[in-house]
Amino acid sequence: MPELIDLHATAMTEFDHRVRQVGTADWALPTPCVDWDVHDLVNHLTTEQLWVPPLLGGARIEDVGDRFDGDNLGEEPVATWAVAAREARLAWLAPDAVERTVHLSAGTVPARRYLWEMTFDLAVHAFDLARALGADERLDPVLVSELCDWAGDQGLGPGPMFDEPVAVGPEAAPQDRLIALTGRKP
């Protein structure tokens, strides 16, 4: 079984690969996230990465305030993503980072749980971005397998983060099952 920190690197690479495929005319394309176009999706993931260093450093949501509200991509969205992703990854690689406690909007949780959530989000949104761009949607099979196992234990379902899961048959591929859990059509 791969280490969680390595799965995170794989998920980060999957999303990064798709971001680097975004062309100038692609930023307004719709994504499987109904309210988001490509720009909104990449901004969401970039913003998530911006939060990682302060949260792993012990900051609380109120300490950060509205610093990361709004559009964080600026004039060079791909470069902005790359810097935010690099800084987040470095924060995760710090000694004992995964063993810390973080203060999220949903409460105080082990950093390991936060890392699972970030890994899951990167992977699912890599799929979303690929679909929006008409690019290769296939995700790393080991990553998909591990995320399927993790997500199956989380009781994902309808709510503020995901739509009602989409039904897939028992013969569905692991990635299709993973994507369907989030209410997306594989």
More confident residue, 26 or 164: 26
% residues pLDDT > 90 (the chain): 80
Residue type for position 164? E
Domain assignment present for 150:
no
Tokens of residue 138, six digits? 């296939």
Domain assignment present for 154:
no
Predicted pLDDT at 161: 61
In this structure, is the dihedral angle defined by the CA atoms of residues 36, 86, 174 and 129, taken in order, positive or negative? positive
Predicted pLDDT at 2: 83
Please determine, for residue 71, whether its predicted confidence score (pLDDT) is greater than 80: yes
| Residue count of the chain | 186
Please determine, for residue 62, whether its predicted confidence score (pLDDT) is greater than 50: yes
CATH number for the domain harbouring residue 81:
1.20.120.450
Domain assignment present for 31:
yes
Domain assignment present for 134:
yes
Which distant-in-sequence residues (6+ apart) come within 8 Å of 42 by Cβ?
19, 22, 73, 77, 81, 129
Domain assignment present for 149:
no
Domain assignment present for 43:
yes
Domain assignment present for 185:
no
- Per residue in 128-177, pLDDT tens? 999 999 999 999 999 999 999 898 766 655 455 667 788 888 899 999 99
d(CA 86, CA 21): 18
pLDDT grade, residue 74 (50/70/90)?
very high
- Per residue in 27-38, pLDDT tens? 999 999 889 999
How many domains does the chain fold into? 1
pLDDT grade, residue 91 (50/70/90)?
very high
Phi/psi class of residue 37: alpha, beta or left (left: φ > 0; alpha: ψ in -120 to 50)? beta
d(CA 93, CA 99): 11
Domain assignment present for 106:
yes
Please determine, for residue 114, whether its predicted confidence score (pLDDT) is greater than 80: yes
Predicted pLDDT at 70: 95
* Mean pLDDT (whole number) for 112-130: 96
Domain hosting residue 102, numbered range: 4-139
